């Protein structure tokens, strides 16, 4: 059975240093996405690449804090690795072989990776009641979006099982009742685990991380796909 909430990858800097990358903690993801949203204001490809390097600099606060400047990144990371970091950190895909400019590709990513329509405060409030974190800043420094969604999913499953048990004692079958809001929740999880690539919980791209556990497989867990766009 699959047990991964998200995938972890190792990259190599030009000096041979190995760095582990995983989904950004919410605090860094928020800063990463806020910076990336400025892609529409860039003038040309050079300007767009500089903005993407700023995104990488933010990601390195988590991955490799010793790397503090754009110059550090340019001196220590090649472009293929930069693209890997962008994709793993925020689901931003840049293809060197594409006929589209970097800005055009980035603009497509911006449209599908915007988190503006996710009520993050509501989601964080749901897990904050567990009493594990002293404030929201500590929460955002501690967990990533896939971890947040996995915690909420687990908590909701436990709450539902308890309600189902209590209802059964009274002769009520909750399984036969309405699932109002369930599809919206499943589609939100699909968006998070696919890094913005789909909002349909039935799409193959949604079968990643914690979502894959429900079926015992998923992308990166014995199932893969090829993007033919």
What is the block-wise mean pLDDT of the chain (229 residues), using blocks of 10 residues? 73 94 93 89 88 95 95 94 91 80 72 64 90 94 91 82 69 57 63 62 53 48 46
Q: Say what the pLDDT of residue 196 is.
A: 61
Residue 50's alpha-carbon distances to 53, 61, 165, 182, in angstroms, are: 5, 17, 56, 41
* pLDDT score recorded for residue 111: 46
**Nearest one of 6, 27, 33 to 92, comparing CA atoms:** 33
> What residues contact residue 173 under an 8 Å CB cut-off, 6+ apart?
167
Q: Which residues pair with 41 in a beta bridge?
A: none
pLDDT of residue 220: 46
Does the pTM surpass 0.85? The reply is no
Instruction: Provide the b/e sequence for 7-29 (b: ≥16 CB within 10 Å).
Output: beeebebeeeeebebbbbbbbbb
pLDDT of residue 166: 67
């Amino acid at each position: 059975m699959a047990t991964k909430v998200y995938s972890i990858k190792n990259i190599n800097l030009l000096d041979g240093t190995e760095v582990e990358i995983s989904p950004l903690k919410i605090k860094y993801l928020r800063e990463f996405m806020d910076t990336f949203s400025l892609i529409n204001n860039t003038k040309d490809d050079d300007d767009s690449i500089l903005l993407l390097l700023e995104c990488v600099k933010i990601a390195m606060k988590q991955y490799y804090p010793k790397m503090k400047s754009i110059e550090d990144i340019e001196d220590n990371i090649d472009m293929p690795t930069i693209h890997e970091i962008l994709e793993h950190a925020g689901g931003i895909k840049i293809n060197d072989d594409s006929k589209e400019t970097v800005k055009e590709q980035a603009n497509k990513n911006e449209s599908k990776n915007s988190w503006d329509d996710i009520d993050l405060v509501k989601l964080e409030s749901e897990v904050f009641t567990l009493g594990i974190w002293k404030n929201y800043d500590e929460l955002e420094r501690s967990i990533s979006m896939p971890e947040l969604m996995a915690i909420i999913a687990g908590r909701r499953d436990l709450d539902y099982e308890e309600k189902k048990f209590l209802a059964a004692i009274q002769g009520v079958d909750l399984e036969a009742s309405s699932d109002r809001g369930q599809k919206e929740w499943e589609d939100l999880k699909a968006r998070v685990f696919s890094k913005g690539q789909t909002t349909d919980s039935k799409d193959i791209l949604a079968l990643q991380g914690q979502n894959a556990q429900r079926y015992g497989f998923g992308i990166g867990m014995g199932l893969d796909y090829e993007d033919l766009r």
